[in-house]
Structure 1
Amino acid sequence: MKHRYKFGFMTLFLVGLTTSILSTSVVLADEVSEAQNALDANKAQSNDLNQQIQDQENKVAQLNNQVANKTLEISKTQKNISANQAKLAKLDTKITKTQKEVKQRRQTLQSQLVNLQKQSNKSALGNVYADFILSGSDLSDIVSRAVAVQKINTANHAALTALTDAQQKLQTFKDQQQTQQAALVNAKQQLETEKAKLDTAKLEATNQQTQLQNQLNANQAATSGLQDQLKAAQDKQAQIEAALKAAQAKAAQTQAAAANQQTEATSAATTATASGADLAANNSDYQAELNANLPSSAANNKIIQDAMQYLGVPYVWGGTTPAGFDCSGLVYYCYKLEGKTVPRVSQGQSTVGQYVSLNNLQPGDLLFWGGVGTAHHVAIYIGNGQYIHAPQPGENVKIGSIAWFRPDFGRRY
């Protein structure tokens, strides 16, 4: 009888426990559902932020390319200004020399007139040339003097005309050069104004990109917390469900059997948790190995190996040397190292070679953002969905991923 009371009490206890577990399981199911819904919403928001970041990255790359091209234009215009200044300096020297020659020629003419006047004994007509001719001793002397005067006049007139014409031409050319110089200076000022606007736009785009990245980081942190919350609720629900099954199975058994069953359920839950941790660790190791190893074909590609030497080199607008590269400058320099010539800027680089879709990329292909002939960014594909590029000012040459900044097409040379 004592055992029957004890068994009856145990049965009532297990029934009550089962009812309590059922109620708890329903509550936990609601928690799991809410956590899952919140996690799904957060993941959707993360995907949206990722897309916005890609769009902003693309905008920054476009502005970056425009600034680099504008920098090249300013440099070219400055060279033209310097060359024009040198021309103006030479013209000033020539004009000064011509002015001295005109002055000397006039002084020579004045000396000739003085000498002629000295050779005239008297002034009959008030004209130096006429007086000189008429003061001849005889007709033959008069004719000789007339011929001499004509030769002097002709020579002086020709010399003065030539010098005056040369002086006028030099002055006209100088005026043209000064007009051209003013136009070049104005063009440079306009380019610098445009570049300043691009700098401002790029700064705003970069700041927006940073804000989006911060939102994404916060969202990812929240996602991680929700994943932990969901995992905890799922684990707890699994434990409750296991306990519910155990309580139902033990309703007709002894207390010892129920205790054993509960112990086995607890052990199984512990084992499942350990297995999940091992799986997560293995997946993490796999990802690390995937990122660390490039395909063997990349090791045999000279362009890739050349580019890898410059990892860490800073971005410089218009840069084409290891002191600093822009995106197209890195490609231009690496191809030049291998004795190959490609256009200097990304727009030109995107028009040569064979078009390649993103599904058929091979290590060594060039990746482009934008359109053919209007590309605003370029990188060198190294395999495994990765590429090496010079991103933007403030960053160094580094390896990027198509998953985070997706190009539009490739070219194979």
Structure 2
Amino acid sequence: MKKYLVALTTVTVVGLSGVFLSDAVQAETIGEIQDERSSIKADLSDAEAKIADVLMELKELNDEIERVDEALVQNREMIATTEEDLTNTEEEVSLLEDEISELEEVIEIRFDILKGRVKSYQKSGGNIGFLDVLFGSASFGDFISRVTAVTKIADSDTRLMEKQEEDKAVLEEKQDKVMTKLTELKDMKSELEGMNALIIEQQEENEDKKKELKKKERNLLELKAELQVKDSNLAALEEQINRSVTTTESGTNSDGNLTQLSSKTSNKVSSKPVQRVSGNGNLNTAINVGYNHLGTPYVWAGKSPGGFDCSGFVSWAFAQGGYSIPSSTAGLQSTGTKVSYSNVQPGDLVFFNTYKTNGHVGIYVGNGNFIGAQNSTGVAVANMTSGYWKNHFAGHVRRVR
């Protein structure tokens, strides 16, 4: 870029000295600018392709994040259901333990009865025969009663022992089922918790990937914006060289000398007060009027809502507020009074070193933002605390009051 600025400076020096910039030099300079613009456009295409790839990756990653989030929700629902089943089963185990305890007491009582019966049977000789019942009877009625009693005792003992075995078998079967269910639920809960941890880990990894892709996207967008600004600046420089040469040629006499040129045409502009002119509005109008024209395209030397360049927009905006200020960055860089960026206020002019020192200007609107005619987006609000504009801001602020 420096060599192009040197070429432009040469145009001015040539005019002052009366020596023409040859067509060959002009063509070579413009040719170099066009070559660099072609290279920049190729870089722009590459950046746009990479942005498209990143956006596709982001879409796929967002789909994956959605699936993982859904899996996490389902898994947590399963864990909640399993925990509820576990609680119910543990209560069932507790009730079963109480039932087992009660049955064990009954079994113990039955066991004591059977033991008593056996002892009594052994004391009576170990065997009660039919004759013992017959001859021991005082009467036939007594005999019938004795036979019935013996039969009932034998049947009762048999039923007692069968019931004992049945109850034990039922309890053991129930206990086995409940304990098996409890073990299965505990295993399931453990497995679900492990799956939950893996899903959360995958969630965190996806979020990290998303942050990286977002950062990559921001960097590519900043690169694209920077390339677009460079291309616009080169186009402006190309136009400026063409105009300078045309002006130099049209302003010479037959001897090849400029008819009117003096040191007053230098880019140096002394600091001067701002003229307040008649008209509706005020500083707030100048600050806010641009919001009605967001998206208005950038046009080289544009000074109206049909199209603005950066200085043309600033001059037009302040005119709506009743201020008359220059419409070139060269004139604006000395307009009003200089203030430090630490004291910047809405309505102050902020300058950026783009293709030249103070090559871009905008109106500060607060919170680190400024409004202006940007090369790549037209009239827009941009942030000067990060990215391209932060890198090209050197602290030059002018207050128009």
Identify the TM-score tier after normalising by the shorter chain. 0.5 to 0.7
CA distance in 2, matches of 1:98, 1:31: 97
Structure with greater helix percent: 1
Find the counterpart in structure 2 of residue 273 from structure 1: 310
Q: TM-score, normalised by structure 2?
A: 0.57
Spell out, residue by residue over 1:337-386, the C-alpha distance to the aligned partner (whole angstroms, 9 max, x if none). Answer: xxxxxxxxxxxxxxxxxxxxxxxxxxxxxxxxxxxxxxxxxxxxxxxxxx
**Residue 115 of structure 1: CA displacement?**
6.0
Distance 1:132 1:182, change over 3 A: farther
CA distance in 2, matches of 1:19, 1:214: 46
The answer to whether the 8 Å contact 1:11/1:251 transfers is: no
CA distance in 2, matches of 1:247, 1:36: 31
Is 1:90 the equivalent of 2:95? yes
**Residue 104 of structure 1: CA displacement?**
0.7
In structure 1, list runs of 5 or more residues that go unmatched: 1-8, 287-413
The answer to whether the 8 Å contact 1:14/1:247 transfers is: no
CA distance in 2, matches of 1:258, 1:52: 59
Which residue of the other structure, out of 51, 72, 84, is the alignment partner of 1:46?
Answer: 51
User: Where in structure 2 are the equivalents of 1:275-290 lying within 5 Å?
Assistant: 275=312, 278-280=372-374, 283-284=379-380
In structure 2, list runs of 5 or more residues that go unmatched: 1-13, 267-299, 304-308, 314-361, 363-371, 383-401
The answer to whether the 8 Å contact 1:102/1:164 transfers is: no
Distance 1:215 1:66, change over 3 A: same
Is 1:127 the equivalent of 2:127? yes
CA distance in 1, matches of 2:41, 2:311: 22
User: Where in structure 2 are the equivalents of 1:354-369 lying within 5 Å?
Assistant: none
Which residue of the other structure, out of 70, 77, 89, is the alignment partner of 1:65?
Answer: 70
Find the counterpart in structure 1 of residue 172 from structure 2: 171
The answer to whether the 8 Å contact 2:86/2:186 transfers is: yes
**Residue 252 of structure 1: CA displacement?**
4.8
Aligned-pair Cα RMSD in Å: 3.8
Distance 1:26 1:110, change over 3 A: closer
CA distance in 2, matches of 1:93, 1:129: 44
CA distance in 2, matches of 1:270, 1:206: 45
CA distance in 1, matches of 2:138, 2:118: 20
**Residue 12 of structure 1: CA displacement?**
9.1
Secondary structure in structure 2 of the residue aligned to 1:67: helix
Find the counterpart in structure 1 of residue 36 from structure 2: 31
CA distance in 1, matches of 2:132, 2:100: 36
Secondary structure in structure 1 of the residue aligned to 2:20: helix
Spell out, residue by residue over 1:180-222, the C-alpha distance to the aligned partner (whole angstroms, 9 max, x if none). Answer: 2222222233333333333343333333222222222222232
CA distance in 1, matches of 2:171, 2:54: 65
User: Where in structure 2 are the equivalents of 1:97-246 lying within 5 Å?
Assistant: 97-112=102-117, 123=125, 126-127=126-127, 133=133, 135-246=136-247
Aligned residues: 272
Write the letter of the residue equivalent to 1:242: R
Spell out, residue by residue over 1:133-157, the C-alpha distance to the aligned partner (whole angstroms, 9 max, x if none). Answer: 3643444323211211222333343
Distance 1:115 1:132, change over 3 A: farther
Distance 1:256 1:81, change over 3 A: same
CA distance in 1, matches of 2:117, 2:132: 11
Write the letter of the residue equivalent to 2:311: A
CA distance in 2, matches of 1:202, 1:20: 61
Identity of aligned residues (%): 15
Distance 1:226 1:71, change over 3 A: same
The answer to whether the 8 Å contact 1:250/1:258 transfers is: no
CA distance in 2, matches of 1:37, 1:275: 30
Q: TM-score, normalised by structure 1?
A: 0.55
Write the letter of the residue equivalent to 2:186: V
Is 1:78 the equivalent of 2:83? yes
CA distance in 2, matches of 1:20, 1:259: 25
**Residue 69 of structure 1: CA displacement?**
1.0
Secondary structure in structure 1 of the residue aligned to 2:100: helix
Secondary structure in structure 1 of the residue aligned to 2:18: helix
Higher Cα Rg: structure 1 or 2? 2
CA distance in 2, matches of 1:110, 1:197: 61
Higher relative contact order (CA 8 A, sep 6+): 1
